[in-house]
Structure 1
Amino acid sequence: MKTRSLISSTLLLGAGALFAVSAQATILTFDLDPAVGNYGDIPGAYGDNVNAASDAVGSYQMGNGYTPNITTEYRTWRISTDTVAYDNLDFWDFNYGGLTNVAFGVTSSDHFAEITLVPEPGWAIRLNSFDLAGYAKLDHPNSQVRIVDGDSKSTLIDYSPVTVLGTGGAFSTFTPNLTYGGAISIRFGYNDWNIGIDNINFDQVTAVPEPETYAMLLAGLGLLGFMARRRTQNA
């Protein structure tokens, strides 16, 4: 039986207030073309505009539906200079706890891994959950795991410090349930490429203004109508 550490938080944020009025979901499993192989680059197009169970670079699991309006980006950052060292993550197929087929940072010391989900205009992202596990089936205490704004890099959720499970085939599941009106980045594996990520479950949701925004819009239209009537009366 697999064991998990369940880490949860709920947050509603956005570039402007949002309601999720419809949703579709994809799960990135990193089930890639076998030709990629261990230490191979995760294809930059994996997870882009998913609308089927598989595409030219790999396969996916379906949550509530697919996510044709979301794209993905993969990077390995250098901590000391706060710059991107590699525009990719690497692939590994086993021994990260109980996970198979994971993504991890290209190198370890002074680096961390980042996966960014980017919505097209008119869409928001709901990040439901993702799994992390330690190589070689070992727990990794005092790990850093963060979710940040994909553009400003401001922190939205910080799980640090946290023990990422791996011993005995365990792994850790994080359930942020975060809805955001812009790009979202998952950051992990700080100074530790022996932490891998799998099963990133996310929705695309349509973004519409909250009632307060509608109220301001209606007030503006009302003011325009009032001014038009005054111009008519004064003509």
Structure 2
Amino acid sequence: MKTRSLISSTLLLGAGALFAASTHATILTFDLSPAVPNYGDIPGAYGDNVNAASDSVGSYLMGNGYTPNITTEYRTWQISTNTVVYNNLDFWDFNYGDLVNVAFGVSSANHFAEITLVPEPGWAIRLNSFDLAGYSRIDHPNSQVRIMDAANETVLIDYSPVTVLGAGGITGTHSTFTPNLTYGNAISIRFGYNDWNIGIDNINFDQVTVVPEPETYAMLLAGLGLLGFMAYRKSQNA
């Protein structure tokens, strides 16, 4: 027994860039290898540069493909000081609703959990969906769930307050969030504010190619043309 004491659709375009159709997606299921005990640390490398169904730290489900240009970061924050106190989240295998193998915050009161998705240069992220559920198969009302710009700590989507489901049926249930958010910088999912009895699973995200807007192409072509003209003038004066 564990004793340690909605839906939106958004597209955000970066200045001077468009996002091409995605062909890569990964689903983080927290099926770890080697196995981690309850309260064990989620490996920091889980979800980094995924290009196969499994790697040295665990296995994944494939959405539209894999995400070799995205890395993941796990943190537990202290609310009162707004500082990171643990550079990891913990693992639990059952009883978070009907979810199996979840990540949750290392500590409970005055803390929250965070998972950050970081794209390499030239790539953006599309966060399709993720699941949250309450331990031990009970609903958790008035929960806070936010999607943040990881660099500026600005809120992109705020689901708060929301009831995170856990009760229902024989095996419990869960809440699914479908932000459908495309963003050109690192984004964070924050959950479990003052409540480590909320776990996350099945984080479905794409990597998306960033291409310049037509105006940016024009500026690039103009710049290349100017460089060519300067090279031509130099050759004529040589």
**What secondary structure is seen at the aligned counterpart in 1 of 2:220?**
helix
One-letter code of the match for 1:80? S
Q: Contact conserved, 2:34 with 2:57, CA < 8 A, in 1?
A: no
Q: Contact conserved, 1:14 with 1:179, CA < 8 A, in 2?
A: no
Under a length normalisation based on structure 2, what TM-score does the superposition of the two structures give?
0.88
**1:11 offset after TM fit, Å?**
2.1
Distance 1:228 1:55, change over 3 A: closer
**1:203 alignment counterpart:** 206
**1:80 alignment counterpart:** 80
**1:213 alignment counterpart:** 216
**What secondary structure is seen at the aligned counterpart in 2 of 1:14?**
coil
Q: Contact conserved, 1:15 with 1:182, CA < 8 A, in 2?
A: no
Write the distance in 1 (CA, Å) between the matches of 2:189 and 2:140.
18
Q: Contact conserved, 2:112 with 2:196, CA < 8 A, in 1?
A: yes
**1:217 offset after TM fit, Å?**
3.0
**1:3 alignment counterpart:** none
Under a length normalisation based on structure 1, what TM-score does the superposition of the two structures give?
0.90
Q: Which runs of 5+ in 2 are unaligned?
A: 1-5
Q: Where does 1:1-235 land on structure 2 (aligned, <5 Å)?
A: 7-14=7-14, 16-33=16-33, 35-168=35-168, 169-221=172-224
**1:41 offset after TM fit, Å?**
0.3
**After TM superposition, where is structure 1 displaced by more than 6 Å over at least 4 residues in a row?**
223-233
| Larger mean Cα displacement after TM superposition, 114-123 or 11-20 | 11-20
**1:90 offset after TM fit, Å?**
0.2
Identity of aligned residues (%): 85
Write the distance in 1 (CA, Å) between the matches of 2:188 and 2:173.
24
RMSD: 2.2
**1:8 offset after TM fit, Å?**
2.4
**What secondary structure is seen at the aligned counterpart in 1 of 2:218?**
helix
Q: How many pairs does the alignment contain?
A: 230
Distance 1:215 1:53, change over 3 A: same
Structure holding more strand per residue: 1
1:165-215 residue CA offsets vs partner (Å, 9 max, x unmatched): 111111111111111111111000000000000000001111111223223
**What secondary structure is seen at the aligned counterpart in 2 of 1:124?**
strand
